[in-house]
Structure 1
Amino acid sequence: MEVECIPFKKTGYFSNLICDYLDGKETLSPFYDRPPQIDQFAEQIKAKQNFPSSHREVLYSVLKNQYRDVDTSEDTKVNISLLKEASTYTVVTGHQLNLFTGPLYFLYKIISTINLTKELKLANPENNFVPIYWMATEDHDFDEINYFNFKGKKLQWNKNVSGAVGPLATDGLESILEAFSNEMGNSINASKLKEWFAKAYLEHDNLTDATRFLANQLFGEHGLVILDGNDSSLKRLLAPYVKRDLLENASYNKVVETIEQLQQLPENYGIQVNPREINYFYLLDGFRERIVEQDGRFYVNDTKIEFSQEEILKELENYPERFSPNVITRPLYQEVILPNLCYIGGGGELAYWLQLRAMFMEMKVPFPILLLRNSALVITGKQMEKLKRMNISLADIFLNQSSFINKKIREISNIDIDFTPQRKHLQEQFKDLYELAAKTDASFLGAVKAQEVKQLKGLDNLQGRLLKAQKRKLQDHVVRMTEIQNQLFPNKSLQERNLNFSELYLEYGERLIPHLMKALKPLSGEFSIVKME
């Protein structure tokens, strides 16, 4: 296995906001406390060192309960116990309950989290660090999670649902397993994948338990702790902050201020998410709907449920589990209940986290370090051989397909397709005409300029036609080039956003995760190209 790295900005797949954040651009410094560098974590530990011991006890108790029927590794058991100690801190990533983990980057998120805890332990041996996977059990967008891609096909779970996805019954997934099995064949690795799918979804009653089983199978031996935040004891710790949202619109006011600051920057980054006056849903079996306030009364959107101010505060006191944070307040919830130092997420996630610092300050909750998860392109030995035979560099394959083809055709063509010398020669000729035009009236000068533009455009058209002619002549090479690029960038997007881990597991089996853990360095700040044998 070999690993090469390139800057995120050179891939063409990451926003200016994220690239500027990674570069430490000064204009973004008001939107976070500390950059994601190993020497910054000592200060982050100091910022979080007053995390309440009572919160640790609640967290430990909840995790013990959530793991009571889980085949738990010794490393995970130790990590759960360590969370009771004041010297223990967490690193967190979160992800939806995608069917069979969904896109490949699910693995990269968790590997980044586990690997960072190892680096932190080496740098701060007096402390302990626990990797946490936060399951988004309260999300209600079923259409985002009900499928995964396998060998170019979409395996989709069709089901009429409403409410949070975590409690969803797993019935109806037998047909997905059958279709999946038919595509995989009968190798040893295929048998393991079938076993995992069957045990996760056919032997567990709901999506939360199924996802916990699968994540535990993949990463339990590395000490990963999996947390479901949809718990009444944990929600009780959040209740004071929910109250401020209900009565003061505290989150809304601070996030709006931050958005205004971001919009004043010259870079025009755009806004990832807009807050609501109340940033909580009302959650019951079968539905999760927004809470809205009007004229002093609180309504649950699209239902007949309503409360006076006194009634909703009593509801919060008696049933805190019924108040579900949205995308704005879920990060706050996480930091209230965990002794957390760092959140690891994708570019879109970090973009909305950068809108939240002022809200955290208002709530007097330390803001975590934000780290972009590892991103990677896995290239097989066969694919590397193809690239070498066609003399295609790793930088070349990140070009958009049109630029990629044009660049390579120019390189391999026995005809010079670059008309730059002809353009220069033509412009030199027009210099004499401009001198002549300067001695007469303005109308002639305009005619000369128009003729120059016309002839330069004609040269460009001829160059384009020559390029097209060479593409036709070298069609076989073009086909092979685009074929390998399409393999590595399915749907003209990053591999990690399309492939499911099962495609790589079929090829590499038990070696896959250890190889990726060895290859991915969470603080490298670069995109990884992993060449697997």
Structure 2
Amino acid sequence: MNVNPEPLPGGSALARDYIHHYEKVGHLYGGDFRNVDSRTERAAWLDSTEELRADRAGIAECLRQYNLELNPHPAVMESLALLEQQGTLVVTGGQQSGLFTGPLFVIYKAITTIQAAKEAAAQLGRPVVPLFWIAGEDHDWDEVNHTYVLNRTGEITRLKLDKADELRSSVSAIKVEEESWLQITGQLDDLLQESEFKPQIMEVIRDSSAEGYSMSEAFAKLIGSLFGRFGLILLDSADPGLRKLEAPMFKSLIEHNDELESAYHTAAGRITDSGYELQAAVTAGGANLFYIHQGARLLLHKEEGRFTDRKGMVSFSREELLEQLETHPERFSNNVLTRPLMQDYVLPVLATVLGQGEIAYWAIPQPAFEVVGERMPLIIPRMSFTVVEGTLHKHMDKYQLVFGDVLQGLDEKRKKWLAAQDELELERRFEDTKAAFTAMYEPLIEQLGSIQAGLLKLGANNKDKILDQITFLQAKAQDAMAKQNEAALRQWERIELSLMPLGKLQERVYNVMYYLNRYGPGWLDELMSIPVDYSGTHRVIYI
């Protein structure tokens, strides 16, 4: 396995500057994880503010109950025992739950979290445990209900899991019927090619959904089966057991809501004044909290001194909302701008692993941390990879292609290659023929016009029809040429489908199960052995 760095164009300018020019954007963040002094300072601050966070023992016990059910590996229990001890820090990563773990970047985010915690523990000389924060309270079902795999014939296939419930409930609250799980796992089984590892892979997948789990529960079981042995703790943000422990922070978010709103707007101004675009909406009157009403997750905003949703289904004064919190903490939920604050309250977060889009929007809550007595944790750019399989690499060498060619689009290079296969120079000869015909025929048409005016128009139409026939024959010849090179063109197509499916990076589309099925669980160990790199550089893995 060879690993090569590759520069990537595009992405958020703010995230790019965080990764490559931190000195330009440091005022928008809480420190640079890559700086050892920043880690030491953050650890010292966490030690001095232990009493400001949720009860450590209570959090550890809540997570123990959750992980015993879905992620019971002994290494996870050891991590939880450490978390229970004062002085243990946490590196977090997180994502919405996704079908069969979702796209590959989720796997890379978990790997980054584990590796960063291990490195920080060695540098600081104290326990640092990895934790994956499953955003199960999010309600965007259409964003998580599908995934993509390469099928047996090397084509991209979309798998989608349906649900009967039409409510905008949190993903963790949506129970998926066992019949639906059986159907979708059967489809995956049919798509994956036969391999020595397939029975084991499919057994793990079926076990994750056999009891009619929610998407979040199935996701947790799969992530646990892959990473539990590395001590990765799992947390579902929709876990009812957490809500009572989170209630003091929700209270603070309600009581200081106007100050928080002001802080978000201040940050938004700083970001735009620095020449960057906002990556998350900061709306006037936004409460940045959700309320669960009759199973639906409603975004609250402030209107005439009350907290209400856009459709007016609920309406509370500040005091009434606090009363609801006291009696029904399970009805409250964070949005993208308050979740970072909640995470910092629940856990002693040394650093959090983020993708580029997340790095950009995390600049918005930076001053809000201070409003609730916290400090922004350090941010680690998620490691990013593209996997190039051996046969694919041979094809790329055959056509003298590098990853950058695929990234920019292969159409032009493919056309040039196909044109080079034209030993008869058909393209040139057809164009020459059309030019020669036109040069000979147009003077004749003009002379015919002197005999009778109507012949001029008739001759022009006749010329166009002859040129159309020549062009038609040219297209047929090109089709025949393409058919003659059909096998080679399929190789070009396979390169593009594998490395830039749907015009996106491979890690943003394909699911890990294709690779585990082909290369076995040991493939994950190979990924874990790749040297860590928190520079945000994309790397290409040649198998």
Compute the TM-score of the two structures, normalised by the length of structure 1.
0.82
1:325-351 Cα distance to aligned partner (Å, 9 max, x none): 111101111011110011112111111
Q: Note if contact 2:382-2:536 (Cα within 8 Å) is conserved in structure 1.
A: no
- Sequence identity of aligned pairs in percent? 25
Tell me how far 1:404 sits from its aligned partner.
4.9
Give the deviation of 1:412 after TM superposition.
10
Q: Which residue of 2 aligns with 1:427?
A: none
Rounded to whole Å, the distance in 2 between the matches of 1:393 and 1:186 is 30
Report the Cα offset of residue 55 of structure 1: 2.3
Distance 1:71 1:290 in 2: 31
Matched, 1:501 2:512: yes
Structure 1 CA distance, aligned partners of 2:401 and 2:131?
A: 40
> Which runs of structure 2 are paired with 1:346-385 in the superposition (5 Å)?
346-385=355-394
Alignment equivalent of 1:48, drawn from 46, 49, 74: 46
Alignment partner, residue 517 of structure 1: 528
In the other structure, the counterpart of 2:163 is 159
Q: Quote the offset at 1:270 in angstroms.
A: 4.2
Give the whole-Å Cα distance in 2 for the aligned partners of 1:141 and 1:278. 19
Mark the CA change 1:205 to 1:394 in structure 2 (over 3 Å): closer, same or farther. closer
Kindly indicate whether residue 72 of structure 2 is the aligned counterpart of residue 75 of structure 1. Answer: no
Letter in 2 for 1:36: F
1:217 to 200, 225, 248: 225
What is the CA-CA distance between 1:479 and the residue it aligns to?
6.4
- Deviation, 1:159, is 1.6
* Equivalence for 2:108: 108
Task: Quote the offset at 1:207 in angstroms.
Answer: 3.0
Separation in 2, partners of 1:257, 1:177: 48
SS, match of residue 340 in structure 2: helix
Distance 1:21 1:351 in 2: 8
**What's the counterpart of residue 435 of structure 1?**
none
How far off its partner does 1:303 sit? 5.7
* Cα 1:413–1:254 shift into 2, 3 Å: farther
Report the Cα distance in structure 1 between the residues aligned to 2:404 and 2:417, rounded to whole angstroms.
Answer: 12
In the other structure, the counterpart of 2:5 is 5
State the alpha-carbon separation in 1 of the partners of residues 502 and 323 from structure 2. 51
**Range that drifts further, 398-407 or 75-84:** 398-407
- For 2:196 and 2:489, locate their aligned partners in 1 and report how far apart those are by CA, in whole Å: 36
Describe the shift of the 1:285–1:82 C-alpha distance in structure 2 as closer, same or farther (beyond 3 A).
Answer: farther
Q: How far 1:44 sits from its partner (Å)?
A: 1.7
CA distance, structure 1, for counterparts of residue 13 and residue 170 of structure 2: 33
Alpha-carbon distance, 1:139 to partner? 0.5
Structure 1 position 16, deviation (Å): 2.3
Q: Distance in 1 between matches of 2:422 and 2:358?
A: 44
Whole-angstrom distance in 2 between the partners of 1:412 and 1:350: 47
Tell me, yes or no, if structure 1 residue 194 matches structure 2 residue 202. Answer: yes
Matching residue of 2:450: none
Are residue 526 (structure 1) and residue 537 (structure 2) matched?
yes
Q: Quote the Cα distance in structure 1 between the aligned partners of 2:420 and 2:504.
A: 25
Residues 76-102 of structure 1: CA distance to partner in whole angstroms, max 9, x if unpaired?
A: 111101112222110111111111111
Show the counterpart of 1:396.
405
How much does 1:505 deviate?
Answer: 0.9
Question: What residue is the counterpart of 1:439 in the other structure?
Answer: none
1:52-451 aligned within 5 A: 52=50, 55-70=55-70, 72-124=72-124, 126-151=125-150, 152-161=156-165, 162=167, 163-171=169-177, 172-230=180-238, 231-245=242-256, 248-266=257-275, 268-275=276-283, 277-284=286-293, 286-302=295-311, 304-402=313-411, 404-405=413-414
Determine the C-alpha separation between the residues in 2 that align with 1:66 and 1:78: 15
Structure 2 letter corresponding to 1:176: I
Unaligned runs of 5+ in 1: 415-467
3-state SS, counterpart of residue 69 of structure 2: coil
**Which entry has the higher C-alpha Rg, 1 or 2?**
2
The TM-score with structure 2 as length reference comes to 0.80
Aligned ranges 1:438-477 → 2 under 5 Å? 476=485
Tell me, in whole angstroms, the C-alpha distance in 2 between the residues paired with 1:331 and 1:378. 31
User: How far apart, CA to CA, are the structure 2 residues paired with 1:488 and 1:203?
Assistant: 35
For residues 408 and 328 of structure 1, the distance between their equivalents in structure 2, rounded to whole angstroms, comes to 50
Q: How far did residue 305 of structure 1 move?
A: 3.0
How far off its partner does 1:372 sit?
Answer: 1.5
Change (3 A) 1:411 1:107: farther
In structure 2, what residue type is equivalent to 1:527?
Answer: H
How far did 1:291 drift? Answer: 2.1
CA distance in 1, matches of 2:420, 2:12: 30
Count of matched residue pairs: 474
Residue deviations 1:369-415 (CA, integer Å, cap 9, x gap): 1122111001111111112222223333332335655887899999x
Please give the per-residue CA displacement for 1:272-301, whole angstroms capped at 9, x wherever unaligned. Answer: 332452010112552110223322333344
What is the aligned partner in structure 2 of residue 423 from structure 1? none
Greater alpha carbon shift after TM alignment, 181-190 vs 161-170: 181-190
Contact 1:55 1:237 in 2 (8 A): no
Shift of 1:64: 2.1
Give the conservation status (yes or no) of the 8 Å contact 1:95–1:136: yes
Question: Cα distance, 1:135 vs. partner?
Answer: 0.9
In 2, are the aligned partners of 1:93 and 1:134 still within 8 Å (CA)? yes
User: 1:60, 1:84 within 8 Å by CA — same for their partners in 2?
Assistant: yes
Shift in alpha-carbon separation, 1:385–1:185, aligned structure 2, 3 A: closer
Query: Cα distance 1:319–1:412, how it changes in 2: closer, same or farther (>3 A)?
Result: same
Aligned to 1:444: none
Aligned to 1:18: 15
Q: What is the CA–CA distance in structure 2 between the aligned matches of 1:206 and 1:518, rounded to whole Å?
A: 32
| 2: CA distance, partners of 1:295 / 1:13 | 42
Residue range with higher mean Cα deviation, 148-157 or 105-114:
148-157
* 1:143 Cα deviation after fit: 0.5
Confirm or deny: 8 A CA contact 1:259 1:271 kept in the other structure. no
Helix, strand or coil at the partner of 2:532:
coil
1:69, distance to aligned residue in structure 2 (A): 2.8
State the 1:41 CA deviation. 1.2
CA contact (8 A) 1:273 1:352 kept: no
When structure 1 is superposed on structure 2, of 27-36 and 105-114 the one drifting more is 27-36
Cα 1:479/1:36, change in 2 over 3 Å: same
Q: Distance in 1 between matches of 2:204 and 2:85?
A: 34
Letter of the 2:331 partner, please give it: R
SS of the residue corresponding to residue 330 of structure 2 reads helix
- Structure 2 counterpart of 1:238, which letter? M
> Residues of 2 paired with 1:241 and 1:488: CA distance?
46
CA distance in 2, matches of 1:86, 1:278: 33
Deviations 1:13-44 (A, max 9, x none): 53322221111254312101212305131122
State the Cα distance separating 1:228 from its structure 2 match: 1.8
Tell me how far apart the structure 2 counterparts of residues 263 and 474 of structure 1 sit (CA, whole Å).
54
Counterpart secondary structure, 1:273: coil
**Does the C-alpha gap of structure 1 residues 42 and 256 become closer, same or farther in structure 2, counting only changes over 3 Å?**
same
Structure-1 separation of matches of 2:145 and 2:248: 31
CA contact (8 A) 1:111 1:520 kept: no
* Structure 2 counterpart of 1:128, one-letter code: P
Look up the equivalent residue of 2:62 and give its one-letter code: V
The alignment partner of 1:166 has SS state of helix
